[in-house]
Structure 1
Amino acid sequence: MSAPERIPPRGGLTEDSAVCELLAEGELAVRGRIREASNAVLYCAVELDGRSAACVYKPVAGERPLWDFPDGNLARREVAAYEVSRATGWDLVPPTVLRDGPYGEGMCQLWVEADPAEELLALVEGEEAGEGWKAIGFAEVPGGGAALLVHADDQRLRRLAVLDAVINNADRKGGHLLPTVDGRLYAIDHGVTFNAEDKLRTLLWGWAGDALTDDAVEVLGLLAAGLDGEGALAARLAGLITPEELDAVRTRVAALLRTGRHPEPSGAWPAIPWPPV
Structure 2
Amino acid sequence: MYLLLLNSLLILLIGFNESNGRALNSSKLQKRIISGEDAKLFQIPYVAAVTIRKDNNWHAICTGVLVTENKVLTAAHCVEKFTASNFLIFVGVIRFYGPYSGYEQFSYVSKIDVHDGDMGSNPGLPLRDLAVLTLAVPAILTRNVQVVKLSANSAIYFDTECTITGWGTTKEGTQNFPNYLQKGETTLISTMECETYWPIMREELNAGTIICVLDKYESPSRSTTICNGDSGGPLLCGPNRDVLVGIAVAKISNCDGTWPQFYLDISRFRSWVANKLYS
Which one has a bigger Cα radius of gyration?
Answer: 1
Q: Which structure: greater helix fraction?
A: 1
Taking structure 1 as the reference length, the TM-score comes to: 0.31
Taking CA–CA contacts closer than 8 Å with sequence separation of 6 or more, which of the two structures ends up with the larger relative contact order?
2
Taking structure 2 as the reference length, the TM-score comes to: 0.30
